[in-house]
Structure 1
Amino acid sequence: MMLLRGFAKGVPTGHLTDEMDLAYPSVLKRRHRIQEAVQQGERVGLPGGAPKDGLPDPEVEADEMYQNAGEKIRSSSKSG
């Protein structure tokens, strides 16, 4: 999901692979496959994919899962 989000936002492949510790060639190949399918108006299947009978809910929210991803925890200092 994070790769698709990165692709949609235009994040460079190198940045995505570094951030997620993935192999550059496989991510680049997947990016090209998805871009080609989108240009041809095809639906792109993902590894594991959705069940053939569809998802149980009509809406899925993935943004909240990664809401705090990458945030640095700041330690609060007590002064007094």
Structure 2
Amino acid sequence: MPFRIFRRVLQLVLCANALRVYLISHSIRRVIIATLGTALLLQVAYFASVLLLVWRAWCNRRAVEGTSQRRRGSDYS
């Protein structure tokens, strides 16, 4: 997901969450705490998804390298 799209979705989710919390509790303190908590949770999820993509790319590259090494080894047998 491109960063621009992620940033817009993050802003939309945070604003909607802040509005929902304010309409339910009428407390600015709870809005700030809930918004910070939601922002932290979303950033951790985004970071985890990036790590997952890097790990999958590493596994795919390793599988391709292993296949090419087996092919080279069978040519000399």
Please say whether Structure 1 and Structure 2 have the same fold, judged by a TM-score greater than 0.5: no
TM-score between the two structures when normalised by the length of structure 1: 0.33
TM-score, normalised via structure 2 length: 0.34
Question: Higher helix fraction: Structure 1 or Structure 2?
Answer: 2
Which structure carries more relative contact order (alpha carbon 8 Å, separation 6+)? 2
